[in-house]
Structure 1
Amino acid sequence: MGVWNWALAAYARPGVPQACLALQDVHGQNTSYLLWAVWAELADPAQLAAGAQAAKAWERTALDRLREVRRALKSPLAPVSDAAREGLREDVKAAELRAERVLMETLAGLAGGQAGGAAALTALTAASLAWGKPAPDADLAALAAALG
């Protein structure tokens, strides 16, 4: 299964959205990057470092900006009608999801299509370390458990 379809199925599992958002919003992790590492079963520091570099560049260029606009559009902004604001917010949300898909497919290309064989928690721990400031083990374990 391709990385994007795998990620959509994984994100639909109970507990995964909450664990991903905690890692993203509280610990500064990139959840697309973390999910890619699990999908590719990676623990190789060189591959993860290359993935982190690519993800950080894409995050700065596209994801952070789109996320900021989407979140800013959450609150009413007179005199703009709520319907118009919400419609635009949905468009920005779709663009943000497309940017996440572009990132994950780019990362999948870096992995070379071969599974590395690492278990989910091993891949998450190694990826979080390669990201820079590692997330707490308990939060990574929560995501690994939710992913099954």
Structure 2
Amino acid sequence: MSLWDWTLEAYGQVGVPEATLALQDAHGQNTSFLLWAVWAEGPDAQALAQGVAAAKAWDAKVLVPIRDVRRTLKAAIPPVDDGAREGLREDVKAAELRAERVLMETLEGLAGGASGGRGALASLQAASAAWGRPAPDDALAVLARALS
């Protein structure tokens, strides 16, 4: 199963959206990168390093700016019509989702189809550490439990 299809299924599981958002907003993690690591069952150190480089570059140049615009458009901006603003926000939200998919397709290619054989929590811990500033184990464990 492709990473994208797996991710769509994962987001349908109770607790996954909330856990990924908490890891993103409270702990500075890239959720696409974390989910990729679980999907690949713990990529090796070289793949993790390549994934970090790709995800950080994509975050800085594409995802974070799009996300910032989407979040800015959440509140009213007088005198802009609320319906027009909300319509634009939906367009930006779709662009953000597409940008996440592009990143995941890129990460999937880095995994090389090989399974690392690690469980969800170990994969998340390795990915979070590779990201640079690891999230607390308890926050990673919430996501690992939701994914199982």
TM bucket (normalised to shorter chain) is over 0.9
The question of 1:41 aligning with 2:41 is answered yes
Provide the identity percentage: 66
Contact 1:16 1:143 in 2 (8 A): yes
Over the aligned positions, Cα root-mean-square deviation in angstroms equals: 0.7
Runs of 4 or more consecutive aligned structure 1 residues displaced over 3 Å after TM superposition: none
Shift of 1:107: 0.3
Structure 2, gaps ≥5 residues long: none
In structure 2, what residue type is equivalent to 1:86? E
Q: For residue 44 of structure 1, report the CA deviation from its aligned partner.
A: 1.9
Q: 2:55 matched to 1:24? A: no
- Name the residue aligned to 2:131: 131
Could you tell me how far apart the structure 2 residues matched to 1:125 and 1:66 are? 27
Q: Is the 8 A contact 2:23 2:31 kept in 1?
A: yes
The letter for the 1-side match of 2:117 is G
CA contact 1:43–1:122 (8 Å) conserved in 2: no
What is the aligned length?
148
Q: Which runs of 5+ in 1 are unaligned?
A: none
Asked whether 1:53 is paired with 2:53, we answer: yes
Deviations along 1:64-86, one digit per CA (max 9) or x if unpaired, are 00000000000001111111000
Alignment of 1:95-114 (within 5 A): 95-114=95-114
Q: Deviations over 1:94-146 (max 9, x none)?
A: 00000000000100000111221111111000000000000000000000000
Instruction: Give the Cα separation in 1 of the matches to 2:94 and 2:43.
Output: 31
Give the TM-score normalised by structure 2.
0.98
- Give the whole-Å Cα distance in 1 for the aligned partners of 2:6 and 2:13: 11
Instruction: Encode CA deviations 1:20-73: one digit per residue, 9 max, x unaligned.
Output: 011000000000000000001114222111101110000001000000000000
**Partner Cα distance (2:105, 2:39) in 1:** 11
For residues 49 and 125 of structure 2, what CA distance do their matches in structure 1 show? 13
Match of 1:69 in 2: 69
Is the Cα contact below 8 Å between 2:4 and 2:101 reproduced in 1? yes
2:42 touches 2:123 (CA, 8 Å); kept in 1?
yes
